[in-house]
């Protein structure tokens, strides 16, 4: 189901991004918008570009509102990937910890050792898969800073998911609660909101 959502988001983002870049290209080259392709691009993207034109000036032939909108669409397409992979990683960590608790292999005094181990694995995974996704982002949008932001966001969100994946079931066990109940909901909320916050925060710092 998650893969279907990603596919739909990326498809919509691809169509919107192409239409926005087409608008900017037409204005730069002085091509009239009164043709079937131009009218389609304008009709598809006016709802996004027109509000931005109130904030961003349109000097000369450079269509900054359309370029900014294309940039925002790119960010919107990449955000769910960061959050989704973080959620999957966190759920796997929680499953492993809950199973170990049920088998009597994990106690509260093992928390620091488990946390250090999971953080190490998550940072390694984040650097590997984050670098791969960063390269894909660079290939798609031809912007090095966006690829670096994608890599950093993936690494930090996987570290967050590992931390939460260890601490949530151990904390519930300490409080006398069943770690299997509610842990997946909590990890999903943390990794989704944390992934969006990390990605948008890094994008604000380094891309805007």
Could you tell me the CATH number of the domain that includes residue 132? 1.10.357.20
Residue-level pLDDT at 157: 92
116, 35: one domain = no
Measuring CA to CA, which residue among 184, 183, 162, 159 is closest to residue 172?
A: 183
86, 25: one domain = no
**Last-in-domain residue among 65, 88, 114:** 65
Measuring CA to CA, which residue among 194, 164, 197 is closest to residue 179?
A: 164
190, 88: one domain = yes
- Length reported for the chain: 208
58, 87: one domain = no
Neighbours of 108 (CB within 10 A): 10
CB distance 149 to 133 below 8 Å: no
Helix 2-28 and helix 64-102, axial crossing angle in degrees, nearest 10: 160
CB distance 201 to 156 below 8 Å: no
Spatial separation of the C-alpha atoms in residues 117 and 20, rounded to whole Å: 45
**Last-in-domain residue among 65, 87, 106:** 65
81, 54: one domain = no
Residue-level pLDDT at 3: 61
58, 79: one domain = no
Note down the domain range covering 187: 71-206
Residue-level pLDDT at 2: 54
97, 139: one domain = yes
Q: What pTM, to 2 d.p., does this model score?
A: 0.75
Q: Which residues of the chain have pLDDT under 70?
A: 1-6, 108-110, 208
61, 80: one domain = no
- CB-hemisphere CA count at 13 Å for 128? 6
30, 114: one domain = no
Residue 52 DSSP symbol? H
145, 175: one domain = yes
Domain count of the fold of the chain: 2
Residue 190 DSSP symbol? H
Continuous segment of H or E residues that includes residue 42: helix 36-53
77, 48: one domain = no
């Amino acid at each position: 189901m998650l893969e279907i959502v990603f596919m739909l988001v990326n498809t919509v983002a691809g169509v919107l991004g192409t239409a926005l870049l087409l608008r900017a290209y037409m204005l730069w080259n002085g091509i009239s918008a009164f043709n079937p392709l131009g009218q389609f691009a304008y009709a598809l993207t006016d709802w996004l570009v027109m509000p931005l034109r109130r904030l961003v000036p349109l000097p000369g032939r450079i269509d900054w509102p359309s370029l900014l909108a294309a940039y925002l669409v790119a960010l919107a397409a990449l955000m769910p990937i960061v959050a989704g992979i973080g959620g999957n990683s966190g759920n796997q960590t929680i499953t492993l910890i809950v199973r170990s608790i049920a088998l009597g292999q994990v106690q509260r005094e093992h928390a620091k050792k488990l946390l250090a181990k999971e953080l190490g694995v998550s940072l390694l995974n984040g650097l590997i898969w984050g670098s791969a996704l960063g390269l894909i982002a660079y290939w798609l949008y031809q912007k090095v800073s966006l690829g670096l932001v994608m890599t950093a966001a993936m690494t930090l969100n996987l570290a967050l998911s590992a931390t939460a994946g260890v601490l949530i079931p151990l904390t519930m066990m300490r409080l006398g609660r069943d770690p299997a109940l509610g842990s997946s909901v909590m990890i999903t909320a943390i990794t989704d909101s944390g992934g969006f916050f990390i990605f948008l925060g890094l994008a604000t710092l380094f891309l805007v």
